[in-house]
A and B are shown apart, each in its own frame.
Chain A
Amino acid sequence: MLEARELAATRGDTTLFSNLGFTLAPGALLRVTGANGSGKTSLLRALCGLLAPAAGEVRWNGENIRALREEYWKHLAYVGHADALKGDLTVLENLVFACALAGLDIPVTRARAALESFGLSGREQLPTRALSQGQRRRAALARLAVSEAQPLWILDEPFAALDAQAVERVQLLAGEHIARGGMVVLTTHQEARIKAPSATDISLDRR
């Protein structure tokens, strides 16, 4: 269970958001919306533990994530707005390494299957710098197809640069993950159609 209490973040002198709280139970979805620059990425980075919030805390199963560290990150699959792909490594090498960092030891056949499900079959051995923006996004998101063991997914703008088919694929994966008791946090500008019994929306726009 992920819990945010009285969370606040600032950039320079401006307060992005303050007194933000929510509870995300297993099998729930959290959508974060807001205009550009409203602090969506900052909120997600605070939830990941990459950014120290200006006030408040994030708790995972009742404990502060900044104290839990690896015990928390073990349960987390984070796809940031940067793709975290090395241009000199192949698509397959990038995926296997991303999984290895998260502590997942996946066989190559599974990695290939994950890439295939994202429409990247035949491109596994290409260096990622040879891919288009959308294909790189697909390659980064392909790890979700093998991340079912990690209960918490935090996705920053997962649909950016994706075509309709890939968006559909990500929504399906997120829906499946929620159905098996996972938690998904995402930011998006598009209408996300993810099947979730309980969905919360947080808007960071100033009211």
Chain B
Amino acid sequence: MTAILRSVIRRDLLLAWRRRSDVATAVLFFVIVTSLFPLGIGPEPNLLREIASGVIWVAALLACMLSLTRMFESDHADGALDQMLVAAAPLGAIVIARVFAHWLVSGLPLVVLSPLLALQFDLPPELVGVLVLSLLLGTPVLSLVGAIGAALTLGLRGGGVLLALLVLPLYVPVLIIGAGALDATAAGLSALPHFLLLAAMLVLAGAFAPWAIAAALRISAE
């Protein structure tokens, strides 16, 4: 079974590489949206420092949404999804591999770029660390929860908008706790509770989302 999961991840990464412009679109969207705020609001360091975590987190949510619509769409259209549904490995496991590949391609770049973008908001170094760690714990949850929405809206007309309406509300707890980690640190409190909550969400989503995604995919194939 691990051989199957390895080839699924390999395939998704290879496809992402061959269509790197798609991947770059979401990442550049993240960079541009976060860069517009300091330009629009003006160079007031205190204000920028305060809004930094919220802006970066919201931009990360939206960038994640952009890549979600593509997650199962083409596989659904060309029959590749059917082959995954009748694969020799449990669908839940294949789904985990696919979500992991999605996160590597569209979540991890956001985590890696965030310290650079934090410079625009004049975040002090200790807060940058908190931001990176909160994104590192939070973005996999975005991929997992988003994939449920992507699977549920598969093959629907206007699926993209519906996906946003379905998934963005579910992202709210991640946003509040993820962005809250920075506020807590800035206020001199420990960010540990926020990290623990994010980690708990990740564990919960990791345990239940694959099952929900697999069920939604099976329904969409019928």
- Contact A80-B82, Cβ < 8 Å, known A52-B222, A89-B14: yes
Contacts of A96 in B (CB 8 A): 7
**Which stretch in B27-35, B84-92, B183-191 binds the other chain?**
B84-92
Do B19 and A86 have beta carbons less than 8 Å apart?
A: no
- Contact A73-B88, Cβ < 8 Å, known A97-B7, A101-B83, A103-B4: yes
CB proximity of B88 to chain A, nearest CB, Å? 3
Q: Is B39 interfacial (CB 8 A cutoff)?
A: no
Q: Is A100 interfacial (CB 8 A cutoff)?
A: yes
CA distance A98 to B221 in the complex (A): 18
Closest A-chain residue to B89, C-beta based? A70
Do A86 and B79 have beta carbons less than 8 Å apart?
A: no
CA distance A103 to B86 in the complex (A): 11
Given contacts A70-B90, A80-B82, 19 further A-B contacts (CB under 8 A): A48-B82, A49-B86, A83-B79, A84-B78, A84-B80, A85-B78, A86-B74, A88-B15, A89-B11, A89-B18, A93-B14, A100-B4, A101-B7, A101-B8, A101-B83, A101-B84, A101-B89, A102-B88, A103-B4
Q: Is A130 interfacial (CB 8 A cutoff)?
A: no
Contact with B along A9-52 (1 / 0, CB 8 A): 00000000000000000000000000000000000000011111
Contacts of A103 in B (CB 8 A): 3-4, 87-89
CA distance A82 to B81 in the complex (A): 10
- Write the residues of chain B forming the contact surface with A, with a CB cutoff of 8 angstroms: 3-4, 7-8, 11, 14-15, 18-19, 74, 77-80, 82-90, 221-222
Do B3 and A100 have beta carbons less than 8 Å apart?
A: yes
Q: Is A163 interfacial (CB 8 A cutoff)?
A: no
Do B14 and A78 have beta carbons less than 8 Å apart?
A: no
CB proximity of A184 to chain B, nearest CB, Å? 16
- Contact A80-B87, Cβ < 8 Å, known A100-B7, A101-B4: no
Which among B77, B88, B222 is the interface contact of A51 at CB below 8 angstroms? B222
Do B90 and A69 have beta carbons less than 8 Å apart?
A: yes
Q: List 17 A-B contacts (CB under 8 A).
A: A48-B86, A50-B85, A50-B221, A52-B222, A73-B86, A76-B86, A78-B86, A80-B79, A81-B79, A84-B78, A86-B74, A89-B18, A96-B7, A101-B89, A102-B87, A103-B87, A103-B88
CB proximity of B32 to chain A, nearest CB, Å? 26
Which among B3, B8, B79, B87 is the interface contact of A73 at CB below 8 angstroms? B87
CA distance A69 to B87 in the complex (A): 9
Contacts of B222 in A (CB 8 A): 50-52
Number of A-B residue pairs having CB atoms within 8 Å of each other in the complex = 80
CA distance A13 to B74 in the complex (A): 29
CA distance A88 to B78 in the complex (A): 12
- Contact A83-B86, Cβ < 8 Å, known A89-B18, A100-B3: no
The 6 closest A-B pairs by CB, nearest first: A82-B79, A103-B88, A100-B7, A84-B79, A88-B18, A101-B87
Contacts of B87 in A (CB 8 A): 70, 73, 101-103
Do A89 and B7 have beta carbons less than 8 Å apart?
A: no
CA distance A183 to B77 in the complex (A): 28
Contacts of B80 in A (CB 8 A): 84-86
Do B78 and A83 have beta carbons less than 8 Å apart?
A: yes
CA distance A159 to B83 in the complex (A): 19
Which among B4, B8, B83 is the interface contact of A78 at CB below 8 angstroms? B83
